């Protein structure tokens, strides 16, 4: 699971409406995989990224340091850092935990599993 | 428009296809619609300046063949290619098919688009769904809950008129689609595509039309394209 995907996931448990994003990543096995650097794509994505959640998550995983607010989209160094965090950093194994309801979502073979039990839908 | 080859699926075996829908006529017709779509497949000049789509989402990605094809046509670094499937075998197959064809897909195991909303609200530029559309008994339709034993019938069983999963998804499509977003869906003639096109026009003001049709055995497959409204839709 790349961090760009994590940035799009919110706890889907019915009635869980507080502290349900971002999901806290625990026991993460992190790996890096090279991706083509595409500054145009990154610029287009900037307004679709929940920035605070990304900063918090990358800090908790100890990956590259992002600024507290999005940097200058024409600053190549900022875009390179963003590229690495969003598109090259992956959680291979681990789990996500909802800070609101405590629900645990496993990550196996790089794929998050968001399925719920019957009483949670 | 450039041509693109069918993705390489040689890494998937008979055993994989016991648990994951194997690409068939519907898959190929959907890929044809993608390859012939004037906003998705661009000539070389326009491809260099491409600024759409940024976010693609395929619901029920199965083998991953279609999203891999989309990534090839759009360009692998030009967009995010998210996929969902309720079946973990399919999510793994999707990831592997992307890798085999040197594109990155981002699979999530979930029911339809659950967990991707509200984050992707009005943010999906290109939405794709090859739903379970075969008319069956309601009981055969996939449960959104984790199944102790996954049944391959969930990949095609569509319940009454083959519409149960389609009708459950349409309100999510309205939540997901960005202004002027494109939604491609596979249907059968038996699903009454004209009725669906009329319903979504009345409910959400989308423009819908048939873009491809093909007979496959006793079925008649139809690819329907919906385009969401512009500014009025946003917000």
When pLDDT is cut at 50, 70 and 90, the band that residue B230 belongs to is low
Task: Please give chain A's pLDDT, 121 residues, in tens.
Answer: 999 999 999 999 999 999 999 999 999 999 999 999 999 999 999 999 999 999 999 999 999 789 999 989 999 999 999 999 999 999 999 999 999 999 999 999 999 999 997 777 7
pLDDT reading at B127 higher than 90: yes
Question: What structural domains and CATH numbers belong to chain A?
Answer: 3-120 (2.20.25.10)
User: Residue B48 has which token pair?
Assistant: 């260099």
Question: What structural domains and CATH numbers belong to chain B?
Answer: 25-233 (3.40.50.150)
Q: Do residues B128 and B66 make contact, with C-beta atoms less than 8 angstroms apart?
A: yes
Burial of B192 (0-12, 13-18, 19+ CB in 10 A): middle
When pLDDT is cut at 50, 70 and 90, the band that residue B234 belongs to is very low
User: To which H or E segment does residue B204 belong?
Assistant: helix B193-204
Contacting A with CB below 8 Å, chain B residues are 51, 54-55, 76-80, 82, 86, 88, 91-92, 95, 104, 106-111, 114-120, 123, 144-146
pLDDT reading at B146 higher than 70: no
C-alpha span between A83 and A1 (Å, rounded): 15
User: To which H or E segment does residue A112 belong?
Assistant: strand A111-112
Please provide residue B61's backbone torsions phi and psi, each rounded to the nearest 5 degrees. Answer: -75, -15
Comparing CB atoms, the residue among A8, A38, A114 nearest residue B109 is A114
User: Residue B116 has which token pair?
Assistant: 């991707």
Q: Do residues B151 and B174 make contact, with C-beta atoms less than 8 angstroms apart?
A: no
Report which of A117, A95, A90, A91 is spatially closest to residue A105, judged by C-alpha positions: A95
CA terminus-to-terminus distance, chain B: 34
- The answer for residues whose C-beta is within 8 angstroms of residue B187's C-beta and 6 or more apart is B131, B133, B162, B166, B193, B196, B221, B222, B223, B224
Q: What is the pLDDT of residue B147?
A: 63
C-alpha span between A24 and B67 (Å, rounded): 28
C-alpha span between B69 and B75 (Å, rounded): 10
C-alpha span between B131 and B187 (Å, rounded): 8
- The answer for residues whose C-beta is within 8 angstroms of residue B89's C-beta and 6 or more apart is B16, B19, B20, B150
- DSSP code of residue B189: G
Interchain CB distance below 8 Å, B106 and A4:
yes
Comparing CB atoms, the residue among A48, A111, A115 nearest residue B95 is A111
């Amino acid at each position: 699971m790349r961090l760009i995907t994590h940035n799009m996931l919110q706890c889907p448990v019915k009635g869980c409406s507080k502290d349900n994003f971002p999901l806290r990543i625990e026991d993460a096995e992190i790996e890096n995989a090279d991706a083509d650097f595409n500054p145009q794509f990154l610029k287009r994505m900037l307004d679709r990224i929940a920035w605070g959640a990304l900063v918090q998550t990358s800090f908790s995983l100890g990956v590259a340091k992002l600024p507290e607010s999005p940097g200058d989209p024409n600053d190549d160094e900022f875009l390179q850092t963003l590229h690495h965090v969003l598109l090259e950093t992956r959680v291979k194994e681990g789990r996500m935990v909802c800070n609101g309801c405590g629900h645990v979502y496993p990550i196996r073979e790089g794929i998050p599993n968001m399925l719920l039990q019957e009483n949670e839908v | 428009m450039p041509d693109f080859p069918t993705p390489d699926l040689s890494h998937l075996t008979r055993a994989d296809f016991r648990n994951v829908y194997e690409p068939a006529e519907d898959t190929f017709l959907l890929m044809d619609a993608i390859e012939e779509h004037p906003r998705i497949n661009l000539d070389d000049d326009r491809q260099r300046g491409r600024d759409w789509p940024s976010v693609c989402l395929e619901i029920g990605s199965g083998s991953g063949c279609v999203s891999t094809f989309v990534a090839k046509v759009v360009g692998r670094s030009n967009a995010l290619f998210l996929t969902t499937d309720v079946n973990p075998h399919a999510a793994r197959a999707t990831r592997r098919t992307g890798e085999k064809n040197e594109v990155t897909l981002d699979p999530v195991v979930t029911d339809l688009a659950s967990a991707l909303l509200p984050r992707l609200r009005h943010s999906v530029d290109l939405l794709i769904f090859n739903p379970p559309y075969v008319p069956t008994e309601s009981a055969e339709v996939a449960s959104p809950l984790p199944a102790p034993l996954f049944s391959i019938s969930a990949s095609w069983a569509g319940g009454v008129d083959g519409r149960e999963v389609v009708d459950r998804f349409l309100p999510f499509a309205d939540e997901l689609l960005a202004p002027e977003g494109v939604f491609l869906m596979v249907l059968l003639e038996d699903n009454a595509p004209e009725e669906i096109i009329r319903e979504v026009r009345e409910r959400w003001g989308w423009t819908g039309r048939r873009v491809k049709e093909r007979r496959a055995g006793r079925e008649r497959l139809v690819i329907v394209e919906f385009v969401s409204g512009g500014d009025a839709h946003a917000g």
